[in-house]
Amino acid sequence: MSSSLASSKLPRRLVVGLAAAAAFLAVGTAQGQQQKSVAVLSIVEHPALDAVRDGVKDALQQAGFEAGKNLKWQYQSAQGNVGTAGQIARKYIGDKPDVIVAIATPSAQAVAAGTKSVPLVFSAVTDPVAAQLTPSWDASGTNVTGVSDMLALDKQIDLLKKVVPQAKRVGMVYNPGEANSVVVVRQLKELLPKLGLTLVEAPAPRSVDVSSAARSLAGKVDVIYTNTDNNVVSAYEALVKVGNEARIPLIAGDTDSVKRGAIAALGIDYHDLGLQTGRVVVQILQGTKPGDIKPQTSSNLRLFINPSAAEKQGVKLSDDLVKSAAEVVR
């Protein structure tokens, strides 16, 4: 019996009802495909953190989660304001997305303070244990996991000595309110004296303080090292201006800072870090609990060198060091 003949013998009301039910199921299926949602919060916009965000989105797309099709994607920057980060975090938590991605320590702390249930994946957090995001580097059993951008400081100091062999006094501009930077300062205080070096601190609580903090180091240090401190990175051009004028060599922990005027950096490719973070997000979207995933680090370090910056800051780079770079910025 043909379907047209069968339907012709059914009451019209029943046919209409069946058609409506089929339409409802079709809409329900389409909506089911739209249910995955990821909300991304970054403490500030600068090249490294933007690269993390883009890497996360790329990893999701590679796994078949595409914004506007089967993924609701939200992104907001707190523009460097911790209070704003808290407001955005509360908004996201109220939305109850499948995953919140928090880029940089202040963002992650803002989200973690507001929820113990919504899955939180941090990225570009140097030390999640010190930041009290996870109790250890093991799977936490909580709603939190993520990817750290922690750098081995012995390798950072080795690079510094290759660039400025005669250095004895190392300056560091940093935000004392950022847990990542406080950890690095503490570690440098322990490590540098063992290598015959001393640390000279220059606090910069806000991005607008970076220039004056750097100027306070003129005549007091042989080189300035900066980690991935978000205040400093977001205002790196101000630091470069001081470095060029005072002929103080700048060594960075963030490779993008080399393109902006640092002499060298041995650091993480932050787009790769974003891809790694995105793959963690995909695991959670596919059903894995965040508390079952150990926090991760990246061992994919790359050396960036800027010979022009070296010349402006009074440094002669060895040919071997330049040849060993993954990227030479011209």
pLDDT attached to residue 180: 86
Q: How far apart are CA 153 and CA 7, in angstroms?
A: 75
Place of tokens 């180091």: 217
Q: What number does CATH give the domain 153-267+302-328?
A: 3.40.50.2300
Tokens standing for residue 97: 């997305």
Superfamily of domain 36-150+269-300: Response regulator (3.40.50.2300)
Q: Write down the pLDDT at residue 34.
A: 53
State the alpha helices, DSSP H only, in the chain: 3-8, 12-33, 47-62, 82-95, 105-112, 153-163, 179-191, 210-215, 230-234, 236-246, 256-259, 270-285, 307-312, 319-323
Q: Which two tokens stand for residue 24?
A: 């409802």
In the chain, CATH 3.40.50.2300 sits at 36-150+269-300, 153-267+302-328
CB 293 within 8 A of CB 119: no
| CA-CA-CA-CA dihedral for 64, 66, 69, 73, to nearest 10 | 140
DSSP codes, 237-303: HHHHHHHHHHT--EEESSTHHHHTT-SEEEEE-HHHHHHHHHHHHHHHHTT--GGGS--EE---EEE
- How many Cβ atoms are within 10 Å of 181's Cβ, its own excluded? 25
Return the residue matching tokens 């002929």.
247
pLDDT of residue 188: 97
DSSP state for residue 84 in the 8-state scheme: H
- So what's the pLDDT on residue 179? 87
- The predicted structure's pLDDT at residue 7: 43
Q: Write down the H helix ranges in 82-141.
A: 82-95, 105-112
Residue 321: φ, ψ to 5°: -65, -45
Give pLDDT tens digits along the chain (330 positions).
444 444 444 455 544 454 444 444 443 433 345 589 999 999 999 999 999 999 999 999 999 999 999 999 999 999 999 999 999 999 999 999 999 999 999 999 999 999 999 999 999 999 999 999 999 999 999 999 999 999 889 999 999 999 999 999 999 999 999 988 999 999 999 999 999 999 999 999 999 999 999 999 999 999 999 998 999 999 999 999 999 999 999 999 999 999 999 999 999 989 999 999 999 999 999 999 999 999 999 978 999 999 999 999 999 999 999 999 999 998
What's the Rg (C-alpha) of the chain? 25
Interior angle at CA 302, CA 60 and CA 320, nearest 5? 160
Check: CB of residue 216 under 8 Å from CB of residue 286: no
Q: What is the pLDDT of residue 300?
A: 84
